[in-house]
Amino acid sequence: MQQSFRIVLAAVVAAAAVAALTVRAEEKPADAGWLPLFNGKDLTGWKLHANPNPGSLKAVTAKEEGGKVVAYTGETKDGKEVPLWTVTDGTLVGSGPATHLFSEKDDYTDFHYRVEAKINDKGNSGQYFRTKFGPGFPQGYEAQINATHGDQIRTGSLYPSFKLTPEDRVKILVMKDAPNKADEFFVQEVIAEGNHIRILVNGKQTIDFTDPNNSFTKGHFALQGHDPGTVVTFKKIEWKPLKK
């Protein structure tokens, strides 16, 4: 009887140990090293240029709750108020005339940078990196976000907004059909190490490019609202520094 009790007790202890290890494994962060750029509550860490689109907007207003900016709205040339960037239900939504939302920090060099996003039908956006702060379309690299827009440069491409030879241009415009559907969340990652740039969509590599001119070496992260027909939604925005 005592022998049977000891066997049962040993089995219970072993099961408890396995359960404890399972709990600890579940509690351990799955993505160690990643740093959030968007907190899901407000626009802490982000900024909009005071005059982001001189051609379409007269003024920009920051809206606050509890001392934190939660939205930017714009006044159009004809006096209408339009939403530009809004935190809602834990997501960041970009819309309205073309604007770019910039990280406050401007010293990002080598990193892994990823977003979980969705773009509406005929919408156009971009995941900028090593970019300069300013009005209009900024100088910097852009990983395109575009499922069905009239611009044929799709999600997963590196936008050709910098000096390229015809041979190099072909290397970064590889996506004739977008790897994501409109109004469907997907993950796009950028890995930038020196002049070596890789882009992945839902874990599949779309770009592996070495920029011979090393066009942009340091700068802001930024998110693009391309035109009034665009509604882009970001659920996660995060980065991980890479050691040189």
Phi, psi of 22 (to 5 degrees): -65, -45
Res 27: pLDDT: 37
Q: Are residues 39 and 142 in the same domain?
A: yes
Regions in the chain scoring below 50 on pLDDT:
1-30
Count the Cβ atoms, other than its own, within 10 Å of residue 105. 12
Q: Are residues 119 and 16 in the same domain?
A: no
| 111 within some domain | yes
Res 25: pLDDT: 35
Range of the structural domain that residue 214 is part of: 32-54+89-241
Q: Are residues 46 and 2 in the same domain?
A: no
| 70 within some domain | no
pLDDT in tens, 199-218: 999 999 999 999 999 999 99
What's the whole-model pTM score? Answer: 0.86
Count the Cβ atoms, other than its own, within 10 Å of residue 186. 19
Beta strands in 98-228 (DSSP E): 99-103, 111-119, 125-131, 141-145, 186-193, 196-201, 204-210, 220-225
| 145 within some domain | yes
| 67 within some domain | no
Q: Is 199 helix (H, G, I), strand (E, B) or coil?
A: strand
Res 131: pLDDT: 98
| 209 within some domain | yes
- What is the domain count for the chain? 2
| 231 within some domain | yes
Res 243: pLDDT: 81
Q: Is 227 within 8 Å of 125 (Cβ atoms)?
A: no
How far apart (Å, rounded) are the C-alpha atoms in residues 109 and 143?
Answer: 16
pLDDT in tens, 13-51: 444 444 444 433 333 444 689 999 999 999 999 999 999
Res 218: pLDDT: 98
Mean pLDDT of the chain: 89
How far apart (Å, rounded) are the C-alpha atoms in residues 41 and 223?
Answer: 17
The residues with which 200 forms a beta bridge, in sequence order, are: 189, 205
Res 244: pLDDT: 66
How far apart (Å, rounded) are the C-alpha atoms in residues 49 and 102?
Answer: 8
Q: What is the CATH number of the domain that holds 185?
A: 2.60.120.560
Place of tokens 């209408």: 80
